Amino acid sequence: MKIAVVGGGVVGMSATVALLDAGHDVTCYEPGPIMGERSVGSTRIFRFAHVEPELVRLAGEARRGFDRWSELAGRPMVLPVECVITGSDLVERASAMAEVGADFEVVRAGSGRLRLPVREEPAVALVDVGGGVVDVDAVRAFLTERGGRAVVHEPVYRLDVTAGGAVAVTAPGGRTEFDALLLAAGAATAHLAAQVGIHVPPLLAHHLRCTFPVADGEWQAWIDLPRDRPGTYQHLAGPGRWAVGSAVEAAEVAWERGRDAAEAASRTALLEYARTHLAVDPTIVDEIYCTTVPNLDDGVHVRRNGPVVANYGVNLMKFAPVLGRDLAAAVST
Ligand SMILES: Cc1cc2nc3c(=O)[nH]c(=O)nc-3n(C[C@H](O)[C@H](O)[C@H](O)COP(=O)(O)OP(=O)(O)OC[C@H]3O[C@@H](n4cnc5c(N)ncnc54)[C@H](O)[C@@H]3O)c2cc1C
């Protein structure tokens, strides 16, 4: 089939590679660098720990997919440091993991089982034994090597479903018809999807992740969701580098606040959090900005209308290999 993929983030590139491997004629439209928007940066958390058993199962398939990619690339793609979960929905996550048979332990402060750069250990924690950190640089290099030849560096302006059931893509290079199309354009997915009658939540919010110097160590990744203050996610982002995101009230990063104000509020909140709670040097040495979809829970969303399949969701990096496989199958049938 002749198939278009709109967006060269981790989702679009994973699907492009799966479609090329299946022998399809693929064009992936990406105006910027490959994996340069929401997939930017060098690390993300990988975890089995989800509230829904179905997502724990999906993480298991994704983990096997990362192992396969690692073998093909000759370098590991998930650093197996474990992932610690603390806070409000620990019991739900533990029960979903138990249902699927994913390996976890529930531990207490002082047990010697936690490796977190904190001033005070959390009272109780779930250790997701198979969790860790995705090496996004390795993923980007692998997907670029295997799928880069299909990428056209142009933005898509317009999508139309034709009377004959094909889909027409209008880009600076002209109008081209395809048998099917996968829409994985991140922040631009909602307005492109609307052109072909697919509803994707259009609301956006600002998000900033800051990195602080930390003592060398095999620190676990950590997701902390306390009831009395905004949650955080944290992990090693390279040797001696501790990345922390969130810790900020939703109103401070609402779209209407504007990027500059949202970034300033996030910086202030993260610095205060690092000073108060973490055993790190409270100096910001790196930042990643991106847009996110507010009020969207963990999970993968897929919508179809005729020849067009659209994907959206949050925290999609950890599912990349399985998303690529399943979206490629969905758009080519
Ligand atoms: C700071 C941060 C921390 C995160 N932490 C985690 C984590 O710990 N674990 C996890 O699993 N996930 C995490 N995520 C989320 C994860 O990285 C994203 O869900 C994932 O990268 C999204 O990939 P994507 O391909 O859907 O979107 P993107 O990477 O945004 O790709 C969409 C692409 O579409 C392109 N595009 C836009 N408009 C057009 C157009 N008109 N025509 C053609 N192309 C277009 C863009 O240039 C972009 O490259 C985090 C994200 C960030 C930014």
Measured CA to CA, the distance from residue 125 to residue 112 in angstroms comes to: 12
Measured CA to CA, the distance from residue 134 to residue 268 in angstroms comes to: 27
In this prediction, residue 144 carries a pLDDT of 98
In this prediction, residue 209 carries a pLDDT of 97
Average pLDDT over residues 289-301: 90
pLDDT digits (tens, 9 = 90+) for 212-251: 999 999 999 999 999 888 999 999 999 999 999 988 999 9
pTM to 2 decimal places? 0.97
Residue 294 has pLDDT above 90, yes or no: no
pLDDT digits (tens, 9 = 90+) for 167-193: 999 999 999 999 999 999 999 999 999
Q: How far is the CA of 191 from the centre of ligand 1 (A)?
A: 16
Local structure of 184: helix, strand or coil? coil
Q: How far is the CA of 9 from the centre of ligand 1 (A)?
A: 5
Distances (CA, A) of 87 to 67, 129, 274: 30, 17, 18
Beta bridge partners of 108: 124
DSSP 272: H
Instruction: Report residue 289's pLDDT band, with 50, 70 and 90 as the boundaries.
Output: very high
Mean pLDDT, rounded, of the chain = 97
In this prediction, residue 73 carries a pLDDT of 98
Q: Strand runs (DSSP E) across the chain, as ranges?
A: 2-6, 25-29, 43-46, 78-79, 83-87, 104-108, 124-128, 132-135, 151-152, 158-161, 167-171, 174-178, 180-183, 205-213, 221-225, 232-236, 241-246, 286-292, 299-305, 308-314
* Per-state percent for the chain, helix, strand, coil, to nearest 5: 35, 30, 35
Average pLDDT over residues 64-86: 98
Q: Which residues contact 98 (CB under 8 A, 6 or more apart)?
A: 104
Measured CA to CA, the distance from residue 225 to residue 246 in angstroms comes to: 10
Question: Which protein residues touch ligand 1 with a CB less than 6 Å away?
Answer: 6-12, 29-32, 35-39, 44-45, 155-156, 184-186, 188, 209, 233, 245, 288, 290, 314-318
Instruction: Report residue 110's pLDDT band, with 50, 70 and 90 as the boundaries.
Output: very high
Task: Kindly give the pairing relationship between strand 308-314 and strand 180-183.
Answer: parallel
The preferred substitution site among 35, 170, 301, 315 for testing ligand 1, maximizing ligand atoms within 8 Å of CB, is 315
Domains along the chain with CATH numbers: 2-38+139-202+297-331 (3.50.50.60), 82-130+204-292 (3.30.9.10)
